[in-house]
């Protein structure tokens, strides 16, 4: 880890500043929307715009980079981000805010893809896993720090919109001054969603569900807080608790993932999420209970995404892992776009606590689907599974590809180790292989 930090500290510091800026705007818009009198439904549309833009950008940005290069794309989209952040208080209209959020999501997607490409290029095969872990930590730390900065001024003014714009602008300096252009993106064969679902139904459905949960926690938490009547400080603590939980529990769950039946672990973690998110429904006015719920919401939702990717990879051949990543990210993006809209509908019908009702329901749906899938086929044994790699849902396709490279390298090493220990039967193969797909 020290080697990774020495070689990429400036890049990671720049990414952290980007996350501070992004984390501030998500919370700030929820607070400012209430001040401007926007309805819950209007805010849900505004918040979903970011994820629509991010999904579109994740597909368009690589082609832009191929055409004009990493530095130009990074500088151009970074300038757009900085400008967009200070336009929100100028045009206080839900339609304009939605369009700005779409543009913001698109721009952040391209910025992340470029920065993460440099990170991937700087990491070696031996340090890629450590680089991914360090990247996850700085992302989480950036979002948590953003919640503290929300308290420095009144959300009804301009200062809190200017501050993230400045931070994003400052993030460019350490990144652009310490990196070199990376090789052009290589085209990866995309696996069809039909084929991906046939290989791992639970993986695809789970990633879709977790997209909705992530966008609800990232986009609608501040909206819930304002509707619930929380103070700005309480909203800041509530959102911070979500990401502290994600940071604290990510690695223990990853450790268990390499030692237990992953499907059972997915069901168990989702069950914890479903149970803990019902706590505010039982004691709606207890703020400590709200913080505890937030901690377990982030601590279950964020690791589940990486856990579901690892579970899906357990059924893939090594050469198919890269082509599966684009399909998984697309499915997750669809869930992320729909998450704020569904959350807004639940809150419109049930009141502010509809926020937790929606999340508890989708967690329960994942538990139920996981239990049903357990009756359809056996899970891979622990010996057949591949290493867990920590990935956040806010990451671009580049980081997901980095994780897939880690999975593939681990699988190849396992096959080589097993092949060296024993001879394969005549006409057979050695190594760890996914279960026979014919049984699906």
Query: Does residue 318 lie within any of the structural domains?
Result: yes
DSSP string, 397-417: HHHHHHHHHHHHHHHHHHHHH
428 found inside a domain: no
CB atoms within 10 A of CB 261: 18
pLDDT tens string 87-141: 999 999 999 999 999 999 999 988 888 887 777 777 666 666 777 788 888 888 9
Q: Does residue 429 sit within a domain?
A: no
427, part of any domain: no
The token pair at 231 is: 């103070």
Confirm whether 354 is domain-assigned: yes
Number of domains in the chain: 1
| Band of pLDDT at residue 2, cut at 50, 70 and 90 | low
Residue 436 lies in a domain: no
Closest CA to 306 of 141, 172, 136, 88: 136
pLDDT reading at 200 higher than 50: yes
431 in any annotated domain: no
DSSP type of residue 184: P
In terms of C-beta density within 10 A (0-12 exposed, 13-18 middle, 19 or more buried), how is residue 59 classed? middle
Structural domain including 235 reads: 2-180+190-420
In a domain, 246, yes or no: yes
CATH code assigned at 285 = 1.20.1250.20
Query: pLDDT, tens digit, for every residue of 176-185?
Result: 777 665 555 5
């Amino acid at each position: 880890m020290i080697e990774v930090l020495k070689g990429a500290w400036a890049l990671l510091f720049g990414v952290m500043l980007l996350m501070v800026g992004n984390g501030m705007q998500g919370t700030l818009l929820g607070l400012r929307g209430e001040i401007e009198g926007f309805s819950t439904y209007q805010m849900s549309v505004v918040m979903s715009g970011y994820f629509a833009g991010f999904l579109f950008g994740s597909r368009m940005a690589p082609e832009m980079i191929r055409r004009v290069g990493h530095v130009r794309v990074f500088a151009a989209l970074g300038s757009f981000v900085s400008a967009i952040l200070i336009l929100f208080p100028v045009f206080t209209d839900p339609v304009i805010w939605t369009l700005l959020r779409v543009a913001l999501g698109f721009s952040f997607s391209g910025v992340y893809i470029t920065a993460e490409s440099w990170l991937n290029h700087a990491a070696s095969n031996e340090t890629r896993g450590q680089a991914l872990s360090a990247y996850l930590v700085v992302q989480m730390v950036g979002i948590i720090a953003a919640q503290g900065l929300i308290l420095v001024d009144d959300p009804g003014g301009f200062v809190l919109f200017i501050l993230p714009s400045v931070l994003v602008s400052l993030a460019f300096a350490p990144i652009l001054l310490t990196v070199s252009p990376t090789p052009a993106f290589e085209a990866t064969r995309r696996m069809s969603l039909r084929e991906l679902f046939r290989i791992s139904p639970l993986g695809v459905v789970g990633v879709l569900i977790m997209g909705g949960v992530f966008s609800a926690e990232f986009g609608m938490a501040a909206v819930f807080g304002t509707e619930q009547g929380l103070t700005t400080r309480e909203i800041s603590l509530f959102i911070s608790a979500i990401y502290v939980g994600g940071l604290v529990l990510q690695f223990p769950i990853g450790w268990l993932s390499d030692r237990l039946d992953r499907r059972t672990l997915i069901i168990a973690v989702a069950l914890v999420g479903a149970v803990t998110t019902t706590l505010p429904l039982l004691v709606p006015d207890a703020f400590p209970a709200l913080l505890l719920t937030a901690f377990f919401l982030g601590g279950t939702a964020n690791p589940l995404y990486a856990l579901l990717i690892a579970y899906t990879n357990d059924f893939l051949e090594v050469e198919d892992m890269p082509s599966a990543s684009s399909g998984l990210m697309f499915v997750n993006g669809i869930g992320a776009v729909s998450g704020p809209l569904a959350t807004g509908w639940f809150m419109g019908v049930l009141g502010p606590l509809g926020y937790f009702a929606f999340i508890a329901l989708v967690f329960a749906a994942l538990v139920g689907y996981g239990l049903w899938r357990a009756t359809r086929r056996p899970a891979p044994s622990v010996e057949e599974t591949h290493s867990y790699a920590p990935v956040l849902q806010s990451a671009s396709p580049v980081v997901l590809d980095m994780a897939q490279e880690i999975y593939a390298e681990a699988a190849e090493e396992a096959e080589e180790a097993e092949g060296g220990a024993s001879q394969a039967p005549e006409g057979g193969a050695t190594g760890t292989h996914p279960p026979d797909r014919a049984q699906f």
